[in-house]
Amino acid sequence: MKRTVSVNGDTNLEMIIASLVPSAALFPNVPIAAFTATATQKVKSDIINQLYLDDPALVKATAFRSNITISVKNREGNGQKQLLSIIEQKKGESGIVYAFSRKETEEIARFLRSKGVVTVFTMPE
């Protein structure tokens, strides 16, 4: 029987949850913890149901992290010069660049690599 979980289109998460179900059945006394940053009530309910969790403890905490700064800027032109400027200002720090599509994500990563910036890109299939 195929198990599906409403995970807002994240098929990787769906596969992970599906792979946990047999483990939970084989090891009923092993605790299971599930963490999510933005799940809707429906997604949370689906995770609980699909993992057969009986009266799980639900803990909700603030997402505020004093060591994380979120900044949104309007793109200037194609954004490449602007992005390099921001990276130079933040030299030695980590950052995340969000894009609208997989193609754009790949293009940004390729551009940054051509400029010597170490990049890793990820985007749901």
Tokens coding 116:
């010597």
Q: What are phi and psi of 114, to 5 degrees?
A: -65, -20
pTM of the model: 0.48
How far apart are alpha carbons 42 and 16 in whole angstroms? Answer: 18
Model confidence pLDDT, tens digit, residues 64-123: 778 878 888 888 898 999 999 999 998 888 888 888 788 888 899 999 999 999 888 776
Find all residues with CB under 8 Å of 82, minimum gap 6, and list them: 73, 75, 76
Q: Which stretch of DSSP H or E encloses residue 22?
A: helix 11-26
